[in-house]
Amino acid sequence: MEDLKRIRSGFVGKVGLPALKGLLDDLWQHKVLSTDDKDTVLEDHTSRTDRARCLIDMVMAKGERASLAMIDCMLERDRELYLTLGLILPPSPTDRVDLKRIRKGFVKRVGLPALKCLLDDLWQRKMLSTEDKDTVLEDQTIRTDRARCLIDMVIAKGERASQAMIECMLERDRELYLTLGLILPPSPTDRVDLT
């Protein structure tokens, strides 16, 4: 419930009408909302923001289980909104190293300044040698080739290097990190309390 309180104003301002109606349907299917609850949100309020405000307040009033269900439904229904609002779930062990999954998006989206910073960070962490840096920067002339070379090199070095690159990406370019679909690690103040 604390997470919904924290994101309330952002949710009201950012959720689109299609996502709002989808969340209503999802929460009804999960038996969090009744048909009367759905009707109250849709029929008693005419503006999108009033509907969003009514929905989130209604779910918070139903307690922790309802709040967690809404957070889960939001992740499934509108991942971009979920991440924009700063909601996080603890990563599962299978999500720890995602470089292979994000390779194509990384090559397409990483900018040259961020790429050079990632190279420096990985070199400072002793994940890359000076020769590795030179291979990426000097043997490749096109940004996408440099990005491809870096990510393939790090993947080949294993899980430890891959995890270091993900951490460096979060520190250097949070927007890229989120755009690629990586999930923020939980902090003690943001963790969803499942008890």
pLDDT tens by residue, 147-194: 999 999 999 998 888 888 998 998 888 888 888 887 665 544 444 443
69 and 104 part of one domain: no
- How confident is the model at residue 178, as a pLDDT? 83
**pLDDT tens by residue, 122-159:** 999 999 999 999 999 998 889 999 999 999 999 999 88
**pLDDT tens by residue, 69-112:** 898 899 888 888 888 888 765 444 444 457 888 899 999 999 99
Q: What is the CA radius of gyration of the chain?
A: 21
If one compares 36 and 159, the residue with the highest pLDDT of the two is 36
Q: How far is CA 104 from the centre of its chain?
A: 17
125 and 173 part of one domain: yes
Segments forming the whole domain that contains residue 6 = 2-84
pLDDT of 27 above 80: yes
160 and 103 part of one domain: yes
63 and 126 part of one domain: no
- How confident is the model at residue 2, as a pLDDT? 72
Can you give the CATH number for the domain in which 56 is found? Answer: 1.10.533.10
Tell me, letter by letter, the H, E, C secondary structure of the chain. CHHHHHHHHHHHHHCCHHHHHHHHHHHHHCCCCCHHHHHHHHHCCCCHHHHHHHHHHHHHHCCHHHHHHHHHHHHHHCHHHHHHCCCCCCCCHHHCCCHHHHHHHHHHHCCHHHHHHHHHHHHHCCCCCHHHHHHHHHCCCCHHHHHHHHHHHHHHHCHHHHHHHHHHHHHHCHHHHHHCCCCCCCCCCCCCCCC
105 and 62 part of one domain: no
112 and 161 part of one domain: yes
80 and 141 part of one domain: no
- How confident is the model at residue 187, as a pLDDT? 46
State how many domains the chain has: 2
- How confident is the model at residue 46, as a pLDDT? 92
